[in-house]
Structure formats: structure tokens, C-alpha cells
Structure 1
Amino acid sequence: MPTFKSFPLPDTAEGLTEAEILSWHVQPGDEVTVNQIIVEIETAKAAVELPCPWAGVVTELHVEPGQTVDVGTPILTIDTDPGGAAAPAPAPAAATPSTSDSAEAGSGEEEMKPLVGYGSKAVQAKRRPRKAAAAASDGGATVARSTVQAAFERQQGPASAPESPPPPPVVPDTPAALMEPGGYVPLAKPPVRKLAKDLGVDLRALAVNGDVITRDAVQQAASGAPEPSTVDTGYDAAARERRVPIKGVRKHTATAMVSSAFTAPHVTEFLTVDVTPMMEFRAKLKNDPRFRDVKLTPLAFCAKAVCLAVQRTPDVNAFWDEAAQEIVYKEYVHLGIAAATPRGLIVPKVRDADGMSLRQIADSIEQLTAVAREGKTTPAAMANGTFTITNVGVFGVDTGTPIITPGEVAILAFGAIRDMPWVVDGEIMVRKVCQLSLSFDHRVVDGQQGSQFLADVGALLADPATAILY
């Protein structure tokens, strides 16, 4: 029975398609145990530590730190029986056979044990299969055996000499050679190929040294425009530029924000509030024994005010289900707190915040913020929110027009608290003042409802004693 097992990158969150390898916790030759942390990856949502499904010895790492790989791609090989007879380690493959397929093939391979943080369901990378090259002898198309099946057969059958890999295609360096019958097929993404076909541009005439052909190159060729000028300006602009790949949290955030901005009709309202009574009450609570060991921030008061105001305007705590054509009203508040981290903006949730006291909310916010700054927030901690607060005031910003978090219908921006002149009983006085802005989905929340909710939050911050009326 083969002892070498390849560990494929699992789907740590529903819908995950790829992840970046951040760091390895093991090296070839290290002994590992079941559920021992072996690698840290960054998904589209958070950094996640993956445990090992088997005990044994690490024989090979297939991916270097910094690389992005698809779900289902083998990332390391483990010898689960280092004391047994030696067997050739399987070559890395683009995906692994599913549990059912392996059982039908009679492999007898041990099923991956359930791991801490995710189940044992096998995941395959979903990619469109490539077309095999046409056979030169009989003109018929033959489909090449997949690397997954080849590796699987090598595990089951007797050891045999590995087949020599086919030589890489020779890439000609002149357009004339590229246009020869049966010559090199240029590299270009499907949309670029379609554009070239529509514009009547021969991609082979644009390919040089194996470079990937871009949309701009096709459009320039179609219009007859000359290549961009490369006149020496006396300095190297590229030397003063820094390029960062769009991936991980930044890629997920960008996709979500674009989807939200162009799907939900946003409306934003603003309110300026005198929060002097709240700040005085906060100073008083700091001397209370029940609050001495907690960081009681103005954000905690804002979060409590939001939970109370939701009771009177439940429309802001809902979800527009486009597929079912329904508005889903949530009977609970999973309050998202937007947090800026070195990896980008993330929004962990305070679960069931509507049932918490002010002290409990303050504790939860402090814990979520600490975990987020360490980059340890899990995907589960950021899922299924119902309402979000973004505390722009911590950066000294007065207000903004926040974009609604996908899956929700409203978001509140909490601005900086400043000393400003304010009219009190007909006299101008220096007061603690902040600005609130509420963005809401006008498909669910009407102007009256959004205004009512924003006014309630402002009233609770202006006079915390009004909370007794809720």
C-alpha cells in the first residue's frame, strides 16, 4: 500500500477558489502529527492556519511562500509510513480525485481525517479542461491522460520508470516564423482572443518571445496606431514605482465594494450631534468598578445606540434576496465593526450584539480589534453580518459616504468628536460634537425609515438617558 500522500489546498471558506501561501511551519524531513499546524495561507477573507490530516514525515513542499494556488492543488507530500518499504512520491497534480472516485477505483487509500477548522470533504479545482493537440498521423483528436490519473495509477501499480516530460515548445522570436503553418500558438486570454477575432487581427503577428498579448496590443494593431513612444526622458519612472499584485483581502474587498456600489441604490444622510452628555457619562463610568478594566470607547456607545435604534426601525437590519425576490428581516443583530489592518479593511462581527450590555459590547469590540490587528481573524468571524459601523473618527475624519457591506442594507459612519461652538439655551458654548452619516439601500429602506433610524442614534448619543425609553 502506498505511503506517500499529497495534501491538496482545501476550501477553508465557502466559495474559495484560491489562496496565497504565507509561510510554512514544517520542512522536508520533519515529523508531523494529525491536526498539527503545517502552513499559514491567506484567502480572500483572512489569514488561516491549516492543520495536517495525517501523521508521518514531510517529504516535499510543492509550493513556495508567496505563491497563489488554486483549491485542490497539492501543496506538500507526506510519508505516512516512514518505516515501510520505499515508494515513489506522487508528482504534484492540479487536483486530487474525489473521495467517491477513489473508492470506486479501489485505491484503498486512507481517507483524509477531519481537521480542526474544516471538514474532510475533498475539493477539486474547477477549471475548464484544455483541448488536446491534434494527432499528426491520423488527424484524429486524442485526449491526453490527466496528471491526476497518471499520479493515481503510479500509486496503485508497480513502480515503473517515469516518462520523460515533453520538451517545451520552441518560441520563435520573429513574426514571420510565428505565422508559419503549425507554428507556435501565441499566449492570450480568451477575451483578448475574441477581440482579435472580431477586429480581424492575427495574434501570431503580435507575439514576440512568448509574451502574453494584451487587449491594448490588439486594439493598436487594429487601428494601425504605432507602438507607444519610448523616448528617453532622462529618468527611470519605473524605478520610483511599486507594483503590488491584487490578491487576498484587497481583491475580495474590491470585488465586494464594486458589486455593492453598482447593485444597491445608495442613499446617504448626515447628522451633526452634540455628544457632550455621552462623553460626560463615559468619564463617569470609567470610575465605576464595573468598567475599570475595560477600554470604554465612544464606539462602544455608538454600537449600543445602533442596537437600540434597530428595535424601532428593523428595516435597516434586513437583507435583499434578489434570487428569491424577498426581503429578509433579521431578528438579531450581528454588528460588523470595520477594522483597518496591514492586510486591508476587514469587518469582524459582534454576534447577537442586540442582547449585550454596554460592558459586553465594549469587551467584544476590544477583542475583535486585537485579533484583527494580529491578522488572525477567521472567515467565520466576518460572515453573516446584519449591520456595519465604520469608525472613521479614529483617523480624525469628520464623516464620509460609506459603501454598504454586501448582504446588508445599511452602514453607519461614526466621525471624529471635536470641540466646536454650539448653541445651548440661546448661548454659544464649546461642546463635544461629532457627525454621523448613514448609507442605506433604497430598495429596502425608505427616506422616512432611514431618517428615523439616524435621528434615534443621534438622540441616544446626545442624551444616553433616553435609552430608558427603549
Structure 2
Amino acid sequence: MTTMTEASVREFKMPDVGEGLTEAEILKWYVQAGDTVTDGQVVCEVETAKAAVELPIPYDGVVRELRFPEGTTVDVGTAIISVDVAGGAPAAPETPAEAPEASAAPDASKAPEKKPEGRQPVLVGYGVAASSTKRRPRKGPEVPVQQASVAIQTELNGHGPATTSPAATEQPRPLAKPPVRKLAKDLGVDLTTVIPSGPDGVITREDVHAAATPAEAPAPEPAVMQTPVSAAAAPTASYDAARETRVPVKGVRKATAAAMVGSAFTAPHVTEFVTVDVTRTLKLVEELKQDKDLQGLRVNPLLLIAKALLVAIKRNPDINASWDEANQEIVLKHYVNLGIAAATPRGLIVPNIKDAHTKTLPQLAESLGELVATAKEGRTSPAAMQGGTVTITNVGVFGVDTGTPILPPGEAAILAVGAIKLQPWVHKGKVKARQVTTLALSFDHRLVDGELGSKVLADVAAVLEQPKKLITWA
């Protein structure tokens, strides 16, 4: 009787809802133990390093257990909910490539059974990722990593070279996130020699720094330090809960921070500026709001700025490119996925409008409206933030004149738009009050030289100063 009961329980594991993401935080459960669920029903909302996503359950049954409370960060491939499937057959593991859960009892009857087709856990709006079971094959066989770590530690402790079994001779690729790999490369550290301290054998930034710093005697305390404070007690002694608040960096904010650091220290940034009279653009915006083809759509200066940038890219297509470090090639894109930087409660995200270069003005307005609304609701999908080719960030909404934006990883250019203000301006030989803004274009100097960057920025400014150029240049 016990065997039949256990055989009817299925475990839904945390899927990889992005491309190679390793973890996600459970934001909210929509079900509780004892609730009845149906195939495709959303059971929880999770936040990855890219977005908040709702997860549907892939079968019918009754919830037996929620494995983790809200606010817990869970590794991809870990069971997060178990469901009792009434009259169901024994369930095969969700991810055969990974090691079985420690709590799962071995059952010989389950071994030959294969998972029915079409029943894999999928994300709303996404098909089944055929390669999802291949993204983390390292996690199962942890023995080689542990053996390698023991061997390295033995040698560091001065006991001579450590002997390893033939199985441990061929070490798997060290587990480390891209920013950590970049840091190791910059510091000249071989990741295969680093002892990992992160969960599941993942190498952290601290591990790399420790490997890069030779063992030295502790530096003497400064003269003003009368009583040494232990490392364990230091954080507690210096933290005043009444005067400080500490916020864990995770999810979107953590990913954004890592991406920006990686971009800033990988791509040589150059930023150019131009101040432009946009009075005619603002007048055109007011006229377009009355256009019947644009009724109900989001019509604002950002719409025409986006169109102006698309026109400039059409006239200077080499700006729409990326740098392939592995192959030492410049990749010219024949499409424009226009990114729009959006500030959300979870941090800065940059969703993009796919194939923006093919859209008419009404279509572009509709896409912008949907992008902004989805971002504010926190429902931007991971797919919407992948594949961007060039980006606009509107810092003017915060009342600042402009900025020097950091490139999103993999893009060659980003345009910052400053606040539009009424300023004295020489117009037709006379000083008049005009609507003026400052644009800043940051670009990757490996791909874009000063001439190309200047042409793009000048073309954007020309369109905004004389919007009629949209007719002749578009």
C-alpha cells in the first residue's frame, strides 16, 4: 500500500526559465498543501536573474507538500512542490541528467519507465526546451570536483602532490558564472586550481581573489587600533540596525550589477554628446496625438526619439553590431531589436522590441506601450530581454540633463536622452525660448570609431530638430 502511495506522488522541479540560469527565488505560492491542481495551472511566481515568471504545474492532482517557503532561493533542478496524482502511474524523474533527490527512495519499478511526451514542465508562452536536461550535467557527478578540491587542498597544506584516481584525472569544467570567469582571466587565475566555496562547488569572486593573493603574514594592525576585533564579530559590531538597513543583492539587481561590471571592464566605452532644439518634435507629438491612426496608443517624445534612432541606424548600419571575443569577429546585425531601459521595483531591466526596424510608427507606438506596461507590472519575460542590439535609456524623466550610460552586454551602442527644458536658444538669428535636450551616445570603441559614432548621433539630432527628415530618410 505504501509503494502505491509513493508511486502516485510527482515532484515538480525548478525549471530553467531562462538561458542557463542556475537559480530562482520563490516570490509567491498560489496554492497550499491539500489544494487540487490541474495541468497548466500556475502554482507559484519566481524571480530569476532576468525577470519574474509564473510557473504552471504539468499534471493534475492534489498538492502534498510545498518544499520551500516564499523568499527562498532554489537551485534549478530542485523539487519545489510534490503532487499526489490520484490513480497515476509512477513518475519518472523530471530531469534524468541530474542526480536523484537525496530524499527520494529508490524504486526498481520506476527505472524502466519513461516520461510521457508532452508532459514536461514548461513556462507560460514557451515550448519545451529540448536541451533543458543538458544545461547542468555537472551537478550530478560531484565526486570529481570534490576529489580535485581535496587534491589541491592537500598540496596547499604542504603534504606534497596528492594522488587521485583515474576517474578524477579528467576534471570537468570548473563551475563559475561569466563575471567570475572574466575576473579570473583579468587576474591571471586558472579556475581549475581554485577551491570553490559556493553551493554545489561553484567558484565565487572571493575564491578567485583568494587564489590571486599569495599567502602572506597578516599585516600589522594600525596604531589607532587598540583592541583587535575578530572577523566573525566585525560585521555584528559595526552594524546598527536602528541606523542602517541591509538589502540582499539578488535576482534582477544582482544580474544587472554583474552585467554592468562585466561590460564596463570589457568594452572600451566612449561617450559623445550633442544638445539639440526639439521644439518641432514636441509640436509633432501633439499633432500625432490627434491622428486617428494613433488613437489609444502611447504617443510621446520617446516614440519619435526611437524612430529617429532607427533612421540613424538605417543610414549607418555598422553601428548595429556586436563583438565576438571568442572568434575575434565583428558581427553585423541585419535586424534591430531596440532595447528600452526601464526602472522597475526589482531593478533596471532592458526589454527590447523585436525587429523594430520593420515597424511603422503606429506599430512602434503599440510595442512601446506594451513594453512599458509589462515592465511596470513586473511581468517582462526572459525572452523579451534577450537579443537586444541597441538601447535607449531615458534619464530625462528623472529631471537630469543626460548621462554616460554603460553598454548592455553584447551591444555596440546605447543612447541616453536627457530632460527636455525650455532654454534660451539662437533660432533664426534671434535668441528665443526653445525646447532643448542633450543626447549622449555611448559606444564600444572596438566596433565603432569616432566618425561612425558622431554620424549616428548627428543623424538622431538632425531628425529631432527637423522631424520632416523622417519622410525623406526613413
Do both proteins adopt the same fold according to a TM-score greater than 0.5, normalized to the shorter chain? yes
Deviation at 1:412, TM superposition (A): 0.1
Determine the structure 2 residue equivalent to 1:179: none
Distance in 2 of aligned mates of 1:219 and 1:59: 56
SS at match of 2:68: coil
- In structure 2, relative to structure 1, the CA distance for the partners of 1:225 and 1:72 (3 Å cut) is farther
Q: For 2:8, which of 3, 11, 14 is the aligned residue?
A: 3
Note if contact 1:260-1:404 (Cα within 8 Å) is conserved in structure 2.
yes
Cα gap change, 1:275 to 1:28, in 2 (>3 Å): same
Q: Kindly state the Cα deviation for residue 307 of structure 1 after the two structures are TM-superposed.
A: 0.6
Q: Secondary structure at the match of 1:254?
A: helix
| Whole-angstrom CA distance in 2 between matches of 1:347 and 1:97 | 37
Q: Please name the residue that 1:57 is paired with.
A: 62
Say if 2:215 is the partner of 1:199.
yes
Q: Give the direction of change, closer, same or farther, for the CA distance of 1:333–1:197 in structure 2 (3 Å limit).
A: closer
8 Å contact kept, 2:277–2:437: yes
1:221-271 Cα offsets, whole Å, 9 max, x none, are 9x999524999xxx9833221111111000110011001000000000000
For 1:20-419, list aligned pairs within 5 A. Answer: 20-80=25-85, 82-83=86-87, 96-97=99-100, 106-108=111-113, 110-111=115-116, 113-114=119-120, 115=122, 116=124, 117-119=126-128, 121-122=132-133, 124=136, 126-127=138-139, 128-129=142-143, 131=146, 191=207, 199=215, 227-228=228-229, 237-419=240-422
1:267-295 deviations in Å (ceiling 9; x for gaps) = 00000000111111112222222223222
- SS in structure 2 of the partner of residue 119 of structure 1: coil
Quick one: structure 1 residues 198 and 104, their matched pair in 2 at CA, closer, same or farther if it must change by over 3 Å? farther
Q: In structure 2, how many angstroms separate the alpha carbons of the residues matched to 1:95 and 1:435?
A: 53
Paired position in structure 2 for 1:469: 472
**In structure 2, what residue type is equivalent to 1:296?**
V
Please name the residue that 1:170 is paired with.
Answer: none
Tell me which amino acid in the other structure corresponds to 2:370.
Q
Q: How far did 1:110 drift? A: 3.6
Decide whether aligned partners of structure 1 residues 331 and 239 sit closer, same or farther in structure 2, where only a CA change above 3 A counts: same
Deviations 1:407-462 (A, max 9, x none): 11000001111000000122100000000000000001010000000000000000
Q: For the structure 1 residues 30 and 465, does the alpha-carbon distance in structure 2 shift closer, same or farther, using more than 3 Å as the test?
A: same
Matched residue, 1:155: none
Whole-angstrom CA distance in 1 between matches of 2:212 and 2:229? 19
Deviation at 1:118, TM superposition (A): 4.7
Question: Which amino acid is the alignment partner of residue 314 of structure 1?
Answer: P
Matched-pair contact (CA < 8 Å) for 2:274–2:440: yes
Q: Considering only CA atoms, is the larger Rg found in Structure 1 or Structure 2?
A: 1
Q: Is 2:8–2:87's contact at 8 Å kept on the other side of the alignment?
A: no
CA distance in 2, matches of 1:42, 1:13: 11
Match of 1:57, as an amino acid? Answer: V
Tell me: CA distance 1:464–1:355, structure 2 relative to 1, closer, same or farther (3 Å): same
The superposition leaves residues 157-187 of structure 1 with CA deviations (integer Å, 9 ceiling, x where unpaired) of xxxxxxxxxxxxxxxxxxxxxxxxxxxxxxx
Distance, in Å, in 1 between the alignment partners of 2:213 and 2:405 is: 42
Compute the RMSD of aligned alpha carbons. Answer: 3.7
Judged with a 3 Å threshold, the aligned counterparts in structure 2 of structure 1 residues 74 and 96 are, in CA distance, closer, same or farther, namely farther
Per the normalisation by structure 1, the TM-score is 0.75
Distance verdict in 2 for CA 1:56–1:464, change over 3 Å: same
Question: How far apart, CA to CA, are the structure 1 residues paired with 2:32 and 2:399?
Answer: 46
8 Å Cα contact 1:397-1:415 kept in structure 2: yes
Q: 2:88, 2:343 → 1: CA distance? A: 51
Is the alpha carbon distance of 1:118 and 1:22 closer, same or farther for their aligned partners in structure 2, counting shifts above 3 Å? farther
Closer, same or farther in 2 for the Cα pair 1:125/1:252, shift >3 Å?
Answer: farther
Offset of residue 469 of structure 1:
2.4
Q: Aligned residue pairs: how many?
A: 392
CA distance in 1, matches of 2:316, 2:108: 54
The amino acid of 1:270's aligned partner reads F
Distance 1:420 1:31, change over 3 A: same
Q: What does the per-residue CA deviation read over 1:340-370, in whole Å, with 9 as the maximum and x for residues that have no partner? A: 1000111111111111122221111111100
**SS of the residue 1:240 aligns to:** coil
Paired with 2:295 and 2:212, the residues of 1 have a C-alpha distance of: 68
Q: Secondary structure at the match of 1:464?
A: coil
TM-score normalized by the length of structure 2: 0.75
The offset of 1:380, in angstroms, is: 0.2
Counterpart amino acid of residue 207 in structure 2:
P
Q: Distance in 1 between matches of 2:357 and 2:458?
A: 19
Partners of 1:292 and 1:375 in 2: CA distance: 26
Q: Is the 8 A contact 1:74 1:95 kept in 2?
A: no
